[in-house]
Amino acid sequence: MSRNFGSLTTNGEIVLSSAIAKTVLQLVAPANTILAVHGFEVSFDGVNNTAEPVIIQLLRQTTAGTATSRTPLKTKDRSTALAATGSENASAEPTAGDILKTFHVHPQAGVVYPFTLDGELELPGGGRLGLKLTAPSTVNTLATINFEE
């Protein structure tokens, strides 16, 4: 790895419709390059304190689905451009692969989920990593995936 740090983030709030799973971000590793995923962040703007929690899944995906292209941004000023690509707000869901992490977060809250050095996720060349959310009630979300290539 050349120590290029980046983040893939939503371009604004994404609406999660009631009980419909949605890939809000998908990070794609460039061919022949392994990405080290350092963590992710997700937050919600819910107002109901008795609302059921949102299901958060971090998973491998085997197809792109249909989504809006989103370019990851460098988080450290290096001369080398990032080669990773990404997308946001899937309108046709990618094909799901292995679910790597799954948990609940209340829709009035958010979570910053950093991975430790020995626990970081590796995304192989050409691999896809999706952040998929399912909210029982309609709520907006913002999200980021942090990585190194």
Q: pTM for this one?
A: 0.93
Q: Give the pLDDT of residue 1.
A: 46
CA-to-CA dists, residue 128 to 9, 49, 64, 133, angstroms: 15, 34, 8, 16
Query: What are the structural domain ranges in the chain?
Result: 5-148
Q: What is the pLDDT of residues 89-114, one digit of tens each?
A: 999 999 999 999 999 999 999 888 88
Q: What is the pLDDT of residues 12-48, one digit of tens each?
A: 999 999 999 999 999 999 999 999 999 999 999 999 9
The residues pairing with 123 across neighbouring beta strands, listed in sequence order, are 35
Q: How confident is the model at residue 76 (pLDDT cuts 50, 70, 90)?
A: confident
Q: How confident is the model at residue 9 (pLDDT cuts 50, 70, 90)?
A: very high
Q: How confident is the model at residue 85 (pLDDT cuts 50, 70, 90)?
A: very high
Coil, strand, or helix at residue 148? strand
42: Cβ contacts below 8 Å, ≥ 6 apart: 24, 56, 105, 110, 111, 113, 131, 133, 141, 142, 143, 144
20: Cβ contacts below 8 Å, ≥ 6 apart: 134
Class of the CATH domain delimited by 5-148: mainly beta
Closest by CA position to 145, among listed 116, 121, 124, 118: 121
The mean of the pLDDT values for the chain is: 93
